[in-house]
Amino acid sequence: MTTSKTPREVVMHTVAVAALTLSAGGYAFTANAADVGTAKPRILVLATGGTIASTGDARSAIGYNAGGVTGEQLTASVPGLDKLASIKAEQISNIGSQDMNSKVWYQLAARIKQAFERNEADGVVITHGTDTMEETAFFLDNVLTTPQPVVLVGSMRPSTAVSADGPGNLYEAVEVAASPQSGHRGVLVVMNDTIHAPRWVTKTNTTSVQTFGNPNGGPLGYVDPASVRYLLPPAAARKAPLNVPNGGLPRVDIVYAHADMDAGQIDDAVRHNAKGIVLAGVGDGNASKAALDALEAAAKRGVVVVRASRVGSGFVNRNVEVSDDKTGFVVAYDLNPQKARVLTQLLIGNGVTTADKVQKAFDATY
C-alpha cells in the first residue's frame, strides 16, 4: 500500500535526500529558490515593531521613529515576497525594541506554538528591532521545541530611508523560513545575508547594517535572493526546553562593573527583591572587592548570582580570580550579560535556584 504525499512533502523529501547525499561528501548543501517547487510554504509573519517598521523623522538626517508601519504594510511593500510563500501577517506589538518586554515574549511563544499545533503555518518570521533582538531570540530558543523554522529579522535603517535594508532582510528571512533546510535548527536570526544562532549572535555596531556578529563562534549559514546555504547540518538532538513560567519572569538585575565600584548597585538590587543578579564584570567577570563581597552576601541570602563579562568576547570560567565554589557564584561562560539574565530568569521561574543546578543548566547550553 502506498501513501500519497502533498507537493510540499515531495519537495522536502527530495531536498532532504539531496542534502544527505551532498553532506556525505563533506559539502555544504545549497537549495535554490527554483527547487522549492510549485506548492508555496505558508509563512506567518508576527510583527513587533522596531526600525524595520519605522518612519523617518526630520529632527536629523538619520532620525526615525520606531514602529508606525504595520506588519501587513511591511510585507506588502516587499517585491516578490508573495512568490516565495503564502504570507499572513499579524501584529503582536508595534514598539521600539528598547521597550521589548516579557509580556510580548509570552505572546510570541504562545502564538507560535498555537500556529504550529493548529497547522496554520510551515514557518514563522518575527519582525523585530535590533537592540534587543538577541534577547528575544534567545528566550524563544529556550522555550520552543517545534521543528519548524522560527526566524527573527530586523533592519538598521528606517523603511523610508533611501537605502533601507529592511525589505531585503525581510525577503531573505522569509526565504530562510520557507526553506526545507531550516527545520530542526531552533530559532534563527537573519540579517544582512547571514543566518545566525541565538546562542552566539550579538549586536556589535550602533548603526552599521553589518551589526550582527558571533564573537565566539561563526554564522550558521548565508542567504541571498537565490539560495540558502548552511555550513553545517542540523544538530542531531536539541536540548530539552524550559517551560514558560506561570505568572511571569522573576526579577533579575544586571549590575555593571567599573573602576572605583562600590556595593551600591548590588545592595539596591537586593532591596528591590531581585531573585537574581548578573554581574557584567570587568575582564573575566571580575569586580572590586566591595562589589564581590556584596554579591557573596546576596548569594548567601538566596539570590542567584551569575558572573558574566562586559568585554564582548571570550569566556568567564569558574575559580580563576574569583573563588566561585566558596562564594556560591555561577559563571556564564561566553553568554553575554543580557542573555545570561534571560537564562537566569527562566531557570528561577522553573524552580532551579541552587548554584550547582543553575551552573549545570548554563553548562547545558552547549
Task: Return the closest-CA partner of residue 306 out of 271, 347, 273, 245.
Answer: 347
Q: What is the DSSP string of 294-331?
A: HHHHHHHTT-EEEEEESSSSS-B-TTSSS-HHHHT-EE
Answer yes or no: 130 catalytic: yes
Q: Is 21 a catalytic residue?
A: no
Cβ atoms of 59 and 77 within 8 Å: the answer is: no
List 48, 127, 130, 146, catalytic entry: 130
First to last CA, the chain: 43
The Cα 121–Cα 127 span in angstroms is: 16
Active-site pick, 51, 146, 327, 344? 51
CA distances to 142, 275, 362, 364 from 239, in Å: 8, 25, 12, 8
CB distance 43 to 178 below 8 Å: yes
The per-residue b/e assignment along 34-44, b for 16 or more CB within 10 angstroms, e otherwise, is eebeeebbbbb
3-state secondary structure of 279: strand
Which residues, in sequence order, are CB contacts of 182 under 8 Å at separation 6+? 123, 149, 151, 176, 188, 228
Active site members: 51, 130
